[in-house]
């Protein structure tokens, strides 16, 4: 699983900013209001952040348990993917509303309600981005320790190699007893 890359996050942030600026530029000529989500969008962003952080906290606590008692690794991976999605969504939300706020503020001033709403949602998007980075850090698996002094191979078995081919159907089906 790849991590949230700062270059891609910056590209998303900047591309959304340019698109938001262009949309705010074109909206008045079409007779439409500035394309900014209202303040209620902050409630949704906060709820998403709280939810994803709660799920990630569960994964973080689970790392302290013995391996046999840990949660399903697929559930932890899903939490990680959700955190990454929240991070990229936050970058897009922050960029879009920063572009809208910049365009509208250049014509109406910084005290206009649309500018204030867009600025608040820009901050909310940045909070979502930070929440995604925190979730990613909390879902990171620490390296496993070798009990045998590092003599294990790639699969943890002595001898430095992989196991032989399983005797089941190509390794996809489990043998039935």
Look at residue 157 and tell me if it is in a domain: no
pLDDT higher than 90, residue 1: no
Q: Is residue 150 part of a domain?
A: no
Query: Which has the closest alpha carbon to 43: 97, 126, 121, 133?
Result: 121
Q: How confident is the model at residue 121 (pLDDT cuts 50, 70, 90)?
A: very high
Whether the per-residue pLDDT at 176 is higher than 60: the answer is: no
Q: Distance (Å, rounded) from C-alpha 46 to C-alpha 3? A: 23
Residue 12 has pLDDT above 80, yes or no: yes
Beta bridge partners of 89: none
The 10s digit of each residue's pLDDT in 74-118 is 888 899 999 999 999 999 999 999 999 999 999 888 888 899 999
Rounded to an integer, what distance in angstroms lies between the CA atom of residue 90 and that of residue 101?
Answer: 16
Asked whether residue 146 is assigned to any structural domain, the reply reads: no
Q: What is the pLDDT of residue 55?
A: 93
Q: Is the pLDDT of residue 171 over 60?
A: no
pLDDT at 174 over 80: no
Say if 170 falls within a structural domain.
no
pLDDT band at 158 (very low <50, low <70, confident <90, very high): low
Q: Indicate whether 152 belongs to any domain.
A: no
- Residue (of 36, 34, 27) closest to 93 by Cα position: 36
In this structure, is residue 163 part of a structural domain? Answer: no
For residue 88, being part of any structural domain is answered with: yes
Residues 141-157 have pLDDT tens digits of 766 654 444 444 444 55
Please tell me the pTM assigned to this model.
0.74
pLDDT tens digits, one per residue of 18-66: 999 999 999 988 999 889 888 899 999 999 999 999 999 998 888 777 7
Q: Assess contact for 137 and 55: CB atoms under 8 A.
A: no
Structural domain that includes position 45: 8-138
In a domain, 1, yes or no: no
Q: How many domains does the chain have?
A: 1
């Amino acid at each position: 699983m790849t991590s949230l890359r700062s270059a891609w996050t910056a590209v998303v942030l900047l591309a959304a900013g340019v698109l938001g600026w262009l949309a705010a530029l074109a909206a008045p000529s079409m007779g439409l209001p500035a394309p900014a989500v209202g303040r209620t969008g902050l409630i949704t962003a906060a709820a998403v952040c709280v939810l994803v952080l709660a799920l990630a906290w569960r994964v973080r606590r689970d790392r302290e348990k013995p391996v046999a008692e840990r949660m399903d690794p697929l559930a932890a991976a899903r939490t990680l993917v959700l955190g990454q999605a929240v991070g990229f969504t936050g970058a897009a939300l922050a960029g879009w509303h920063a572009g809208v706020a910049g365009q509208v503020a250049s014509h109406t001033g910084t005290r206009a309600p649309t500018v204030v709403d867009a600025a608040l949602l820009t901050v909310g998007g940045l909070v979502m981005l930070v929440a995604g980075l925190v979730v990613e850090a909390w879902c990171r698996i620490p390296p496993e320790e070798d009990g045998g002094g590092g003599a294990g191979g790639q699969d943890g078995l002595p001898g430095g190699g992989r196991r032989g081919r399983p005797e089941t159907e190509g390794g996809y089906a489990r043998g039935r007893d």
